[in-house]
Amino acid sequence: MASKREAFHLAGPLHLTFIDWENANYRSSVAACLVRGVYILERDRQEQRLGPEALAPPWWEFFHFRLLRCLIDSDDSSIFGAIYEYRPPSSQKGHSAYRPHIVVAFRGTLTKKESFWQDLKLDLLLIRHGLHRTSRFKTAMQTVHDMVADAGDSRVWLAGHSLGSAIAMLAGKNMARSGKCLLTFLFNPPYFSAPIKPIKSPKLKHGLRFAKTAVTAGLAKALKTSEHGHQLTRAEEEFLSAWLPNLFVNPEDRICSEYKGYFEHRKMMVEMGAGAIERLVAQQSIGSLVMTAMGKETEAVKFVPSANLVVNTTPCPDFKTAHALHQWWQPEAQLQAKIYQYS
């Protein structure tokens, strides 16, 4: 039984009737819908909805995209990603610096039994900084590399939600290290940490974040390592500074809300004259440092040196709404954007 959230004519952004790639909200709404298309592709597969019964196609066809290929998880045969190609209508053949040619999108965790256990396994590996070792990520990374080699980095977008945003983030970081900075849309990206947000006292929040920063910096200095087991080269720092992914977070979503505090704390550290510590910690996590000390290769997905942080301040009734993908194309959403640049 299909839900109303799956049907584009009931849940999609039907108000976006005019193509405007110069508009940031239009771009993010399209990216979110393409990610939704991946979710519905997998639900179509599970429910055996074929041909005219399939609900996924309107989620990309409305914006003049066509599906090139689905990305399949080799462990459970589920669809976890998709490659879309933009086919502009004849009235929109002109050039736009913001218009994509290829979009690679990744879904998050589905609660249906056909894919839930594999998704949950990857969620747990994400917490343990082991997502980069999975077959799903390796398939995603190879796909992104191939698309960039074929179309060029300026014409390829990355997009993902929740677990899918972690995959897109890690792929984008890897491409940035090679000098290819892709336009990236990360919706509700996971940031697993101690629950600092519920604390009411701003001073206590700052104190806890400062203590965590001090511990992380101390471990990094002691181990003389970056999250990859070596000091970042100047070229790597330049690439990471140039890559500016779009992070979409809701302060009521406990999975991603700490990103706001993370970037605000880093900014405060720089203003306090502790920029050197801030730069070091921007590359690290305590968990990844401990795993590195134990001789295990890790990748702290959640740490992004630079970002355009978009916060949805619209009141949310519950966690489910705060973590939902559809919030990012609602015309009444109250969004606040701020750029944080790694220096």
What does each C-alpha distance from 79 to 43, 114, 135, 242, 300 come to in angstroms?
9, 11, 13, 32, 25
The full DSSP string for 240-301 is HHH---EEEE-TT-TTTTHHHHHHHHHHHHHHTT-HHHHHHHTT--HHHHHHHHTT-----T
| Whether 283 contacts 303, CB under 8 Å | yes
HSE-up of residue 234 (Cα within 13 Å, Cβ side): 0
Averaged pLDDT of the chain:
84
Residue 4: the pLDDT is: 87
- Residues 271-307 pLDDT 10s: 555 555 555 555 555 444 444 444 555 556 667 889 9
Task: Specify the pTM.
Answer: 0.84
Nearest to 175 by CA among 202, 151, 210, 209: 151
What percentage of the chain exceeds 70 in pLDDT?
74
More confident residue, 276 or 255: 255
Q: In what order do the strands lie in the sheet with 335-340?
A: 65-72, 79-86, 102-106, 156-161, 183-187, 246-249, 307-312, 335-340
More confident residue, 322 or 89: 322
Residue 196: the pLDDT is: 57
Residue 22: the pLDDT is: 93
Residue 261: the pLDDT is: 84
More confident residue, 304 or 207: 304
Q: How many residues in the chain? A: 343
C-alpha torsion angle, residues 317, 2, 81, 341 (rounded to 10): -20
| Phi and psi torsions of 167, nearest 5° | -65, -45
Nearest to 247 by CA among 324, 175, 169: 169
**Which domains occur in the chain, in start order?**
4-193+234-277+305-340 (3.40.50)
Residue 217 has pLDDT above 60, yes or no: no
| Whether 261 contacts 91, CB under 8 Å | no
The full DSSP string for 100-145 is -SEEEEE-----SHHHHHHHHHHHHHHHTT-GGGSHHHHHHHHHHH
Task: Give the mean model confidence (pLDDT) for residues 154-164.
Answer: 97
Any residues with CB less than 8 A from the CB of 59 and at least 6 apart, and which?
Answer: 8, 12, 33, 34, 36, 37, 40
Confidence of residue 262 (pLDDT cuts 50, 70, 90): confident
Looking at the DSSP bridge assignments, the partners of residue 160 are 106, 186
Q: Which two tokens stand for residue 256?
A: 């991603």
Task: Give the mean model confidence (pLDDT) for residues 252-263.
Answer: 90
